[in-house]
Structure 1
Amino acid sequence: MRGPLVLALGCVLLSACATDGASGGAAGVAPPPDDDESELVLLDPCSKPNLTTVEPGALTFTTSAAPAPPYFLSDKPADRLGLESEVAYAVAEQMGFRPQEVTWEFASAEDVLTGSFLDFDLAVDGYVARPDEYPAIAYSTPYLETTTVLDVPDDEARRVLLGVSQQTQPSSLRFAAPVQGTGRPWLLGKGWIPEGGGLAMWARAGSEMQEARIVTDAQLIDEPTRQWLESIANIDVSNVAGVDPPDIALSFAMVQGNPLAACVDRALAELSESGELETIVETWLDPEMWRIDD
């Protein structure tokens, strides 16, 4: 009798093991994808699969070829050195693009604004919204708001602007400002350049603005660039007392009708809400971060 009993117990134990093994195997199988979550991704117009870009699967930025410190600290934006470079990658990541899916093209701000260059998704180069002047361009919500100063190194030019000197009119002075900023409209409003006239030089930041201080009489400079000129280039930037240039807000520029516009604004809003945008701004507007060669 002992033999059959042992055999019977063995069969029971084997059955239990088989059952446990089967249940253990089932526990190791990955659960099926959440259909509701997949449906939400498909329905979200800002999910990466639904985004229309100039190069499928990639997000293409454009900026000027010459570095514009402190916004770009090298001539390779992919180095992520500088405020605008880092903001661009943060927005791309928020929209679902990995760093290796971000590409860069180089074009002047003038070519972007006039529609001479169109092979890009987003332009990042200190653009200030001027839809009346450039109706073919759309702008994102701002990623940076800052002040500007009118730098006038020469005492005589300063007296001219203050109306103290009667020998020369302001319209005879040479001005420099960014083409993508508000310099020209503001100078026109002041009557310091004639209607239909232009600037002696388009200059935004870095070495461009250093050169502008040599060949022009007055330069419209934003606050981060002023700090860079003083702390890195060791240039004293002056300001004309009683002259208050406009504050500016920097935005991404894109071709009017770009389907990414709402998604870029959403990405910026999410970065702002999380505090990441503020962290990027504080980090890359710290002059200590600009000393990359030290």
Structure 2
Amino acid sequence: MGRSSRIVALTAATAALLAVAGCAPQDDESPTDTASSGAASCSKESLRTRTPGKLTIATDEPAYEPWFRENKPESGEGFEAAVAYAVAEKLGYARADVTWTRVKFDTAIAPGPKNFDFDINQFSITEERKKAVDFSAPYYLVRQTVIALKSSKIAGRTALADLRDAKLGAQVGTTSYQAITDVIKPTVAPQVYNSNDDAKKALQNGQLDGLVVDLPTAFYITGAELTDATIVGQVPQVGTPEAFGLLLDKGSPLTGCVSGAVGQLTEAGTLTQLEQKWLAQVAGAAELR
């Protein structure tokens, strides 16, 4: 999970983001409790960062599109780069106060001291990982997405109704399959596969008009695995979505304030705007309505 099979929404409703943040189990002292202890405790001058007056943010090497543009997180371009700077600004840090460092995904989620203040790298929030690290409130709820070969009859379609006569497939027991049955509701029985690899082969062989996978996986498949495939669009939210959070050291004194900053960005609609810009408009994953 997270990084969607490790390398292998459109509008995640503000209410949904807050619901996930609110119902996610927390440690004895939750980020929300910490953040609400007083605005002064989250002022820049009060934050116990690795370098006083500076904020060190980590991500992987390389950093992939559309989360980061051209492997340059410092540019602020790409969804996660933009989110990172938005959080930094909420905490009182100007761009000049932000330093980026590179940390491998597996290293970041492992127990032990961190060399960053927080890491943004498509980390799924899981109970198992929370035993070793802290997470902020969710900044992104993963959406399910339809992909197709460029030659498919559904390539270029823009509405859910356009997919009703399509032969779609997904991995068994996944939210992707639930998106087909509960949201798209095609007239043709959907195909079920034991793995995404099996489903991809069916797509390549022309046995499917389209394949439903989560959005991060869709970006990877269409960008690195199947060059003749394209993203048709994102499906409205379904089921219990996978949630991405900023990762911090276990017991970090920054967790509450960072989580509070994410919550403010959610309430203001900023995260939704960044999704629309970087995932829908720039990356071409528009929502199917």
Report TM bin, short chain: 0.5 to 0.7
Summarize the Cα distance change of 1:234–1:88 in structure 2 as closer, same or farther, 3 Å threshold: farther
CA distance in 1, matches of 2:273, 2:231: 27
* Matching residue of 1:31: none
CA distance in 1, matches of 2:129, 2:223: 34
What's the offset of the Cα at 1:56? 1.1
Deviates further, 246-255 or 141-150: 141-150
Pairing 1:92-103 to 2, within 5 Å after superposition? 92-103=88-99
CA deviations 1:29-74 (Å, max 9, x no partner) are xxxxxxxxxxxxx971001110000111111111101121111122
What's the offset of the Cα at 1:147? 2.8
* Matching residue of 1:112: 108
SS at structure 1 position matched to 2:89: helix
Question: Are 1:136 and 2:128 an aligned pair?
Answer: no
CA distance in 2, matches of 1:106, 1:117: 15
CA distance in 1, matches of 2:114, 2:146: 32
Percent identity at matched positions? 26
Pairing 1:30-179 to 2, within 5 Å after superposition? 44-115=40-111, 118-148=114-144
Question: What letter matches 2:270 in structure 1?
Answer: E
Question: Are 1:249 and 2:243 an aligned pair?
Answer: yes
CA distance in 2, matches of 1:74, 1:117: 29
Question: Are 1:264 and 2:258 an aligned pair?
Answer: yes
TM-score, length basis structure 2:
0.55
Q: Highest CA radius of gyration, 1 or 2?
A: 1
Which structure dedicates a bigger proportion of its chain to helix? Answer: 1
Q: Which has the higher contact order (CA 8 A, sep 6+)?
A: 2
Aligned pair partner of 2:268 in 271, 274, 277: 274
Q: Where does the alignment leave 5 or more consecutive residues of structure 1 unmatched?
A: 1-41, 154-158, 163-191, 194-199, 201-212, 214-218, 239-243
Give the superposed CA RMSD: 4.0
* Matching residue of 2:31: none
SS at structure 2 position matched to 1:143: strand
Aligned pair partner of 1:223 in 196, 199, 215: 215
Summarize the Cα distance change of 1:46–1:287 in structure 2 as closer, same or farther, 3 Å threshold: same
CA distance in 2, matches of 1:113, 1:122: 11
CA contact (8 A) 1:141 1:265 kept: yes
CA contact (8 A) 1:147 1:246 kept: no
Pairing 1:5-24 to 2, within 5 Å after superposition? none
Question: Are 1:285 and 2:279 an aligned pair?
Answer: yes
CA contact (8 A) 1:148 1:245 kept: no
* Matching residue of 1:12: none
Summarize the Cα distance change of 1:275–1:237 in structure 2 as closer, same or farther, 3 Å threshold: closer
Summarize the Cα distance change of 1:116–1:46 in structure 2 as closer, same or farther, 3 Å threshold: closer
TM-score, length basis structure 1:
0.54
SS at structure 2 position matched to 1:72: coil
CA distance in 2, matches of 1:228, 1:287: 17
Q: Where does the alignment leave 5 or more consecutive residues of structure 2 unmatched?
A: 1-37, 150-168, 173-193, 198-203, 205-210, 233-237, 285-289
